[in-house]
Amino acid sequence: MTSLTSAPALTFDKVSMVFPDGTKALDEVSLTVRPGEFVSIVGPSGCGKSTVLRIASGLLSPSEGQVELDDQNIGYVFQDATLLPWRSVQKNIELFMELEGVDKQARRENAAAAIELVGLSGFEKHHPIRLSGGMKMRVSLARSLTLHPGLFLFDEPFGALDEITRERLNDELIALFLRERFGGLFITHSISEATFLSTRVLVMSDRPGRIVGDFEIPFEYPRSEELRYDPLFAELSGTISQALRDGHS
């Protein structure tokens, strides 16, 4: 499904967004995400990061500019796990397949595989109310994984989790990324998270959001925990942090 010579999974060409109330959220944002690339966007709160994802997914239409998606089949993981509380873990994971008309037998099998993949075996019948924040996020991930999307959008998915859970989920996300080889577009305000996960980090300015920095992250995958204490990692994080501050003024 993914090859390095294929077309970009996502292209933004000078995309601007002005909301009906006059708020200018994005100003000529251009970016590409290629298959097998994991791109993070870091930026201050309220800079329009989430708007980028809402536009990429088609939930919002841009005021100006072009958006191109290679494949309409995208995964979208929200800030909240957005699980339907009346559905069990199993049923929540089957939701997207249900909406896409996948038959029952295939739904069962794909859901079982996704549950296995995110390590939730044994929790199939639980309702979200009985799950921890980290487990809810795993369900949310599994739900999107069932459709094997070519492009995955992540909207600060781990922002509300504690540090330990967050780092563990970072590792698991990398493992999924290496296994599924989707194109990833990840929104966060944590520079270290962005640097740890990504092949590339984009820095966004204060509202209206513009891309003010683009950094290649050269570390090999799979990435180990020790990377977080690597001097080069710290240096890169520092450079990104500086770019973020410059964009802030």
Partner 1 sequence: MSKTSLRYGWLGTGGPPALVFLTFVGAWYGYSALVGPTERNISSPYPHAVVQTVFGDLSNLTELLKATWVTTKVAGVGLVIAMAVGILFAVLMSQAKWIERSFYPYAVLLQTVPILALVPLIGLRWGFGFKSRVIVCVIISLFPIITNTLFGLKSTERGHGDLFLLHNAPRLTRLRKLHFPAALPAMFTGFRISAGLSVIGAIVGDFFFGRGQKGLGIKIRDYTNFLETEMLIGGIILSALLGIAMFQVFGFIGRVITGAWHDGA
Phi, psi of 111 (to 5 degrees): -65, -45
Q: Closest approach of Cβ 218 to partner 1, in Å? A: 34
Q: Closest approach of Cβ 77 to partner 1, in Å? A: 11
Phi, psi of 173 (to 5 degrees): -65, -40
Q: Which is nearer to partner 1, 59 or 234 (CB)?
A: 59
* CA 142 centroid distance within chain: 13
Phi, psi of 59 (to 5 degrees): -70, -25
Q: Which is nearer to partner 1, 20 or 85 (CB)?
A: 85
Task: Render 42-99 in DSSP notation, one character per residue.
Answer: E--TTSSHHHHHHHHHTSS--SEEEEEES-S-EEEE-SS----TTS-HHHHHHHHHHH
Q: Which is nearer to partner 1, 76 or 158 (CB)?
A: 76
Q: Which is nearer to partner 1, 100 or 214 (CB)?
A: 100
Q: Closest approach of Cβ 86 to partner 1, in Å? A: 5
Q: Closest approach of Cβ 60 to partner 1, in Å? A: 10
Q: Closest approach of Cβ 122 to partner 1, in Å? A: 17
Q: Which is nearer to partner 1, 46 or 58 (CB)?
A: 58
Q: Closest approach of Cβ 160 to partner 1, in Å? A: 13
In the complex, the residues that contact partner 1 under the rule CB under 8 A are: 57-59, 74, 76, 78, 80, 82, 84-87, 95-96, 98-100, 127-129
Beta bridge partners of 75: 152
The amino acid present at 52, given as its one-letter code, is: V
Q: Which is nearer to partner 1, 106 or 178 (CB)?
A: 106
